[in-house]
Amino acid sequence: MQDTTAQDRRNELKSLLERIHAHPEHAFVEERKRVAVLQSLLRSQENAEAGA
């Protein structure tokens, strides 16, 4: 099994945001939840790296 990297998370986040922006007529409830999770994970990782 491969580890998920910060770059993987950024790529997924970018993809989700592009899809949401391309189709604003859809609710994308699950995708928006995933966006929030990815943003939180990336923010936590950046904070940990800044404090290290």
Which residue type, as a one-letter code, is found at position 32? R
Integer angstrom CA distances of residue 11 from 17, 25, 52: 10, 23, 24
Pull the structure tokens for residue 38: 């990815």
Q: Let me know: does 31 contact 16? Beta carbons within 8 Å.
A: yes
Q: Count CB neighbours of 38 within 10 A.
A: 19
Q: Let me know: does 33 contact 52? Beta carbons within 8 Å.
A: no
pLDDT tens track for 11-50: 999 999 999 999 999 999 999 999 999 999 999 999 998 9
- Outline where the chain has alpha helix (H): 6-22, 29-51
**Model pTM?**
0.88
